[in-house]
Structure 1
Amino acid sequence: MKRLALVGLAALGLSACSGKLPDGVDESILTQSVGKSIGSPSTCVVIADADGKLVWRGGGYVTCSRNLPDCDGNQTTAETLLKASLGKPARFISCPSPAAAVNTVGWSIGPVPTGEGKPARNLTYVAVMEGERALPGLEIKDRVERAFKKAGF
């Protein structure tokens, strides 16, 4: 029982340190919608506020922490690219991945769209897929932004 209480406190402490999705955004719908639209074991979607604080992650920590080609000749992680992209214009890119000869990586990076009649939230997202069937960056954008809308952004 004591161990369970410690685990509960640890989980509460971790969630207190992370950011929070804006009011009116349903986390369970966001998780389901992203999973249905671009979900795979090689997919990561991260959202941060204007200060770079992570407010949501779709995809496991390991998946989101993988070094992948940034399509400019360097390697990066989704979270590193997210922090470097705060407040910058959207980009949608794809390129070969050296992980396997047939793999590609697709990136969608930009501001989280604000729905009609909703206040500006100043959030930025990065969505990435890597693998044999990775979608191109522009297709990832279309799908993930539809998922954001369904969740209440």
Structure 2
Amino acid sequence: MRRLAGLAVIAGLLAGCAPKLPDGIDEARLTELVGRAIGSPSTCVLISDAAGKVVWRGGGYITCARNLPSCQGGAPVTAEAVLNTSLKGPSRFLSCPSDAGGANTVGWAMGPVPASEGKAPSGLRYVAVMEGERALPGREVQDRVEHAFTRSGF
């Protein structure tokens, strides 16, 4: 019993050190709004702090973990790799074919999480990606996910 109590205390302390969403952001509401905006099994959305530590993950795990075309040439990349290379700079979006036949596409959007009207910027960054036959273009991914962020209270 003592050992379990000790492990629970250690787990609680470690969880307190983990990066998290800003106060006032309801994770369930954020998940719902992003899901409505661009949710599908082919979607991945990551939000990180300025150091690149992921504070929120939404969408399909498979899409988050798989290598996809960067739409900038070079080797395929994961969503987390794109997030870590875009920790500075303005929002941007990219789209390109993701298979040799051109039936599937990938749409990327990345940048600072926008602030809702009257709120200070959170300092968080995001990357959102969709891939597949019916994937939205990067510009549409950007517009929809940024709207979901502001509606969720950022």
Fold shared by both chains (TM-score > 0.5): yes
Alignment check: 8 A CA contact 2:42 2:60 kept: no
What corresponds to 1:19 in structure 2? 19
1:46 maps to amino acid: L
Q: 1:99 to 1:144 in 2, by over 3 A?
A: farther
**In the TM superposition, what are the counterparts of 1:82-93 in structure 2 within 5 Å?**
82-93=83-94
- 1:1-153 counterparts in 2 under 5 A? 15-16=15-16, 18-74=18-74, 75-98=76-99, 101-153=102-154
Q: 1:29, 1:150 within 8 Å by CA — same for their partners in 2? A: no
Deviation digits for residues 30-55 of structure 1 (CA, Å, limit 9, x no counterpart): 10111111111110000001111111
**What is the CA-CA distance between 1:61 and the residue it aligns to?**
3.2
Q: 1:130 to 1:11 in 2, by over 3 A?
A: farther
The change in CA–CA distance for 1:13 and 1:30 in structure 2 (over 3 A counts) is same
Q: Please report the TM-score for the alignment, with normalisation by the length of structure 2.
A: 0.86
Amino acid paired to 2:48: A
Alpha carbons of structure 1 residues 76 and 101: separation in structure 2 relative to 1, 3 Å: same
Does structure 1 retain, via aligned residues, the 8 Å contact 2:46–2:83?
yes
- Counterpart secondary structure, 2:129: strand
User: Do 2:40 and 2:60's aligned partners in 1 also have CA atoms closer than 8 Å?
Assistant: no
Q: Size of the alignment, in residue pairs?
A: 151
Q: 1:112 to 1:94 in 2, by over 3 A?
A: same
Deviations 1:41-84 (A, max 9, x none): 11000000111111100024332011000001231110111011
Q: What are the ranges of 5 or more consecutive residues in structure 1 without an aligned counterpart?
A: none
Question: Which has the larger displacement, 84-93 or 99-108?
Answer: 99-108
Q: Is the 8 A contact 2:48 2:125 kept in 1?
A: yes
Check the 8 A contact 1:90/1:108 in 2, yes or no. yes
- Structure 2 regions of 5+ residues with no counterpart? none
Shift of 1:17: 5.9
Distance 2:87 2:70 in 1: 16
Of residues 94-103 and 81-90 in structure 1, the stretch that sits farther from structure 2 once superposed is 94-103
What is the RMSD computed on CA atoms of the aligned residues? 2.6
In our comparison, the structure showing a higher alpha carbon Rg is 2
Note the alpha carbon deviations across 1:81-128, whole angstroms, 9 max, x for none: 101100222211100002764000000011100122212211110000
